[in-house]
Amino acid sequence: MTAATVAQAATTRNLGGVKRFLMKASTTIYAGALVMINTSGTAEPAADGSTARAVVGIATETVTSAASGSYWINVQEGEILGVGTTLGQADVGLMHYMTDDLTFDDVPGLNSLAVGPMVEYIGAASGWFYSSWKHLPALVQKKTRFPLTIWSHLLSEIADGDLMTDWTAGFLGEIVGLMAITNKVASTASKTTAIHAEIGATATTGGVLTLTTAGCNAMGEVTASTAITAGSVFGAADTLSVLAASTTAFVEGEVTINLILDQFFGA
């Protein structure tokens, strides 16, 4: 489903309190849509983005704010019959996250926030969810970071193809990047390889670790991948792989390659 463009006939039950929040300027929030608080402390339609701070509930009215002045939106706590993706009975009791201001998922996106737990399964595309301002962003952002050491091996043995194939993490998490530490220096000039991670068969956007002779010519030198901008979140059943490409074979040298992961908790 896509974000709201008109007021929604939201189905609700077991309603709680109504709270009022100051709106972001030049913004429309539609009745029946999810509302979030952004990093500026104002309300706007819930969306997966870097300015997301907390989902606070369901809008009870449609309000459009002007470029200046103070506009307020009333937001309701309670259970809502929401749209989801690939939902199942086993999702009852699990925290769910916003995809946009109308859609829930049990796997968070890169910057998505907790909406609330599913309380009743209806079908693969719908269920009852409890939405409340009490579901703070820590529910999705509480995490621990650790390196998964793929291998420590001779650079000369790196060839295009898999370096790690279809590892199942068994937890909800995010790929942060790749890192290499030089254990034995490379000296033969103009050698290189580009290493990236995949979730299933889909590469992350960004996150390429480029190893070169010049970057591996000092003992203990650390090389980091480029930043990952999308496609980094994985579920417990997803498989992770690491691949090399565009390799000009090294003659000597050795590196330890680490896949840096965040494991989410409270999900």
Residue 139 makes CB contacts below 8 A (sequence gap 6+) with 95, 113, 114, 266, 267
pLDDT, tens digit (0-9, with 9 covering 90-100), for 153-180: 799 999 999 999 999 988 878 899 999 9
Closest residue by Cα to residue 58 from 95, 21, 93, 92: 21
Determine whether 55 is exposed, middle or buried from the number of CB atoms within 10 Å of its CB (0-12, 13-18, 19+). Answer: buried
Residues spanned by CATH 2.60.120 within the chain?
A: 143-264
Residues spanned by CATH 2.40.300 within the chain?
A: 12-140
Q: Residue 129: what pLDDT?
A: 87
State how far the alpha carbon of 247 is from the alpha carbons of 23, 35, 91, 157, 210, in Å.
Answer: 52, 47, 43, 11, 10
Tell me, what amino acid is at 17?
G
> Higher confidence at residue 86 or residue 161?
161
pLDDT, tens digit (0-9, with 9 covering 90-100), for 236-267: 788 999 999 999 999 999 999 999 998 876 54
Class of the 143-264 domain?
mainly beta
State how far the alpha carbon of 213 is from the alpha carbons of 193, 197, 233, in Å.
Answer: 10, 21, 32
Distance from C-alpha of 134 to C-alpha of 78, rounded to nearest angstrom: 11
CA dihedral over 55, 58, 61, 62, signed as positive or negative: positive
Q: Residue 170: what pLDDT?
A: 86
Reply yes or no on whether the pLDDT at 141 is more than 60: no
pLDDT, tens digit (0-9, with 9 covering 90-100), for 22-56: 999 999 999 888 888 888 999 998 877 656 677 88
Q: Residue 207: what pLDDT?
A: 96
Reply yes or no on whether the pLDDT at 71 is more than 80: yes
Q: Answer yes or no: are the C-beta atoms of 76 and 18 closer than 8 Å.
A: yes
Tell me, what amino acid is at 203?
A
Reply yes or no on whether the pLDDT at 223 is more than 70: yes
Please state the rounded mean pLDDT for residues 123-129. Answer: 89
Q: Residue 267: what pLDDT?
A: 44
Q: Answer yes or no: are the C-beta atoms of 250 and 188 closer than 8 Å.
A: yes
User: Phi, psi (5° rounding) for residue 26?
Assistant: 55, 50
CA dihedral over 200, 201, 206, 211, signed as positive or negative: positive
Q: Pick one of 2.30.30, 3.40.50, 3.40.190, 2.40.300 as the CATH number of 12-140.
A: 2.40.300
Closest residue by Cα to residue 38 from 26, 20, 56, 65: 56
Q: Answer yes or no: are the C-beta atoms of 237 and 212 closer than 8 Å.
A: no
